[in-house]
Amino acid sequence: MKQIGLGLLGLGTVGTGLCKLVMENKELIEKRMGISLELKKALVRDLNRERILSQGQLTTDPNEILKDPSIQIVVEVMGGVEPAKTYITEALKAGKAVVTANKELIAKEGHELLTLATEVGQDLYFEASVAGGIPIIRTLKESLIGNRITGIFGIINGTTNYILTKMSQEGSSLESALAAAQRKGYAEADPSSDVEGWDAAYKLAILASIAFGSRVEIDKVHVEGICKIEPEDLKYSQELGYTLKLLAIGKNSPEGIQVRVHPTLIPQQHPLATVSGVYNAVFLEDDSFGELMFYGRGAGELPTGSAVLSDVIACGRDLVLGKAGSLNCTCFEERPVLPMDDVQCKYYVRLVVDDRPGVLAKIADCFGSNGVSLAQVIQKGYEEPVDLVFVSHRVQEGQMKKALAQIEALPFVHKVANLIRVEGEEQFGTAAR
Ligand code: NAP
Ligand code: HSE
């Protein structure tokens, strides 16, 4: 039985989940893998809080983990770029395998860290950084390594999916739904990363880099969060047969890669439309398997702890077999990321306008003169100003933006209240649309 010492950098939601699973499943892991995981020490800020580990196993000094020869695997579950990056670098250089749940760090600094891990012949695994308990990274890196993935459609932020579900099903406000997500341990330390779309963007950059074999820089990802979504948009989109989700979308075509995170309308019959609450899902497309969907809890103590545990066991197995460092960076080419103006979509547009004769005609003229063809038009409300809702046919985003700039300048238009992209109708739409 190989004894493997674990040191944790952080013992909050995810760290505690990992400890619980290591304690509960110790015997099972020993029987299945022939390795015995020993929880040695955890780095924290506050030594006085009650924890799952004993007082003697807690420290505020990272060197007690990074320089301890009885620790072979360091698990970084503290979050943020620094000091996490420095600690991981030191752990790798000290000959330790590293597991992290830190999507921000991997999205921003993953290339440098993975290169270092390969140089020093150590594992750097990060399964929990994307989609909580769903084992999507190892699936892409191993099971689907011979496939040409063409599309990724992900609900990969549990907090915003929980918020949108509560807003549409219970009429909750964004603020009260966010507070509930924070109480349940789903949200990031700074929840603006969730609601503004950055958490999903970090995860998409990681997924797209692996799926398309080309490193996607985080500043190339187009990011829009859910802050602009109003109850009207949820109501009208439901009436139009759509469900609103914060989708992370990656597409790979001969021209280049699209990587974007934004509120998206999908047909109510699309499998992703049924993914509610804190659940995440990753929907993949390619020319051989067609469509695959992975579904599970995207955040929380035990689901995320389970993904971290899978990496810890993979590191343990690599240590035993002497193949550490063999599955680090999988990017093999550099593909261009296409600008948003080149993206082609259908769009939902909500305008707030005066209710007067000729208004609709002038707005339709702006759409038409910019090549935007309309599929549906609905007026909502009787008291001025009223909502005018349009759904377009597929059009280039640059043309839609030009039309909206002209429309916004019309004297009877109060505002362009929202522009939401429509996706997923090719496979799961109705013939009428
Ligand atoms: P958390 O509950 O806030 O826990 C963070 C832990 O790190 C705490 O124990 C904290 O110590 C410790 N810590 C933070 N900064 C430190 C520092 N400078 N020095 C020493 N200790 C420090 O966070 P979490 O929710 O577990 O998330 C951890 C990581 O997992 C993040 O990268 C997050 O993005 C990722 N993740 C989280 C989830 C989720 O569902 N929560 C899911 C997937 C991935 P104290 O306890 O003393 O404050
Ligand atoms: N804050 C993240 C979420 C945690 O809500 O999905 C999982 O990464």
Rounded distance between C-alpha atoms, residue 429 and residue 240, angstroms: 12
Does the pLDDT at position 432 exceed 80? Answer: no
| Domain spans in the chain, listed from the N-terminal domain onward | 2-132+301-321, 137-297, 340-428
Structure tokens at 135: 């084992």
Decide if 2 is catalytic.
no
Ligand 1 centroid to Cα of residue 278, in Å, is 19
Ligand sitting nearest the alpha carbon of 100: 1
| Ligand 1 atom with least separation from CA of 199 | 34
Name the 3-class secondary structure at 4: strand
More confident residue, 171 or 311: 311
The response to whether residue 193 sits with its C-beta less than 6 Å from ligand 1 reads: no
What number of other Cβ atoms are within 10 A of residue 168's Cβ?
Answer: 19
Instruction: Point out the catalytic residue in the list 40, 203, 251, 346.
Output: 203
Mean pLDDT across 27-56 = 96
Q: Which of 131, 142, 123 is nearest to 313 (CA)?
A: 123
CA of 411 to the centre of ligand 2 (A): 43
216: nearest Cα among 226, 208, 228: 208
Distance in angstroms (rounded) separating the CA atoms of residues 96 and 319: 10
Ligand 2 interacting residues, C-beta cut-off 6 A: 132, 157-159, 186-188, 194, 199, 298-299
Beta bridge partners of 6: 39, 73
Mean pLDDT of the chain: 95
Atom of ligand 2 minimally distant from the CA of 161: 5
By alpha-carbon position, which residue is closest to atom 43 of ligand 1? Answer: 132
Q: Which residues contact residue 286 at a Cβ distance below 8 angstroms, ignoring those fewer than 6 apart?
A: 144, 147, 148, 149, 150, 151
Note the pLDDT of residue 329.
Answer: 81
Supply the DSSP string of 91-136, one letter for each residue.
HHHTT-EEEE--HHHHHHHHHHHHHHHHHHT--EE-GGGSSTT--H
Interval between CA 345 and ligand 2 midpoint (Å): 27
> Per residue in 141-177, pLDDT tens?
999 999 999 999 999 999 999 999 999 999 899 999 9
Better-scored residue on pLDDT, 325 or 291 = 291
What is the CA(28)–ligand 1 centre distance, in A?
27
The H or E element spanning position 309 is helix 301-321
- pLDDT at position 356 is 92
Six-digit token pair at 215? 């490193």
Print the SS3 string covering 23-39.
HHCHHHHHHHHCEEEEE
**HEC assignment per residue over 200-258:** HHHHHHHHHHHHHCECCCHHHCEECCCCCCCHHHHHHHHHCCEEEEEEEEEEEECCEEE
The CATH-assigned architecture of domain 2-132+301-321 is 3-Layer(aba) Sandwich (3.40)
Ligand 2 centre distance from Cα of residue 46 (Å): 23
Counting atoms of ligand 2 from 1, which one is nearest the CA of 159? Answer: 5
Instruction: Locate the ligand 1 atom nearest the alpha carbon of residue 83 and give its number.
Output: 18
Residue 382 has pLDDT above 90, yes or no: no
- Name the closest-CA residue to atom 7, ligand 2: 299
Q: Is the Cβ atom of 156 under 6 angstroms away from ligand 1? A: no
| Residue 137 to residue 211: CA distance in whole angstroms | 9
Ligand 1 test: best mutation among 9, 11, 45, most atoms within 8 Å of CB? Answer: 45
Task: Note the pTM of the prediction, 2 decimals.
Answer: 0.95
The reply to whether CATH 3.30.70.260 applies to domain 340-428 is yes
- Look at residue 426 and tell me whether its pLDDT is greater than 90: no
Tokens for 145, please give them.
């390594």
- The ligand minimizing its distance to the Cα of 280 is 2
Nearest CA to ligand 1 atom 12: 10
- The CB of 42 under 6 Å from ligand 1? The reply is no
User: Over the stretch 396-406, which tens digit does the pLDDT of each residue have?
Assistant: 999 999 999 99
Kindly tell me if the per-residue pLDDT of 373 is higher than 60: yes
Res 431: pLDDT: 36
Looking at residue 326, its pLDDT comes to 78
Tell me: pLDDT of 215 over 70: yes
Q: How many angstroms does the Cα of residue 359 sit away from the middle of ligand 2? A: 44
What integer pLDDT is reported at residue 433 of this predicted model?
A: 37
Of all residues in the chain, what percent carry a pLDDT higher than 90? 90
Examine the pLDDT at 430 and tell me if it is beyond 70. no
Q: Is the CB of 300 under 6 A from ligand 1?
A: yes
- The whole-angstrom separation of Cα 110 and Cα 116 is 10
- Quickly name the fold that domain 137-297 has: Dihydrodipicolinate Reductase; domain 2 (3.30.360)
Give, using CA atoms, the residue closest to atom 4 of ligand 2: 299
Percent of the residues in the chain that have a pLDDT greater than 70, as a whole number = 99
**Rounded distance from Cα 157 to ligand 2 centre (Å):** 5
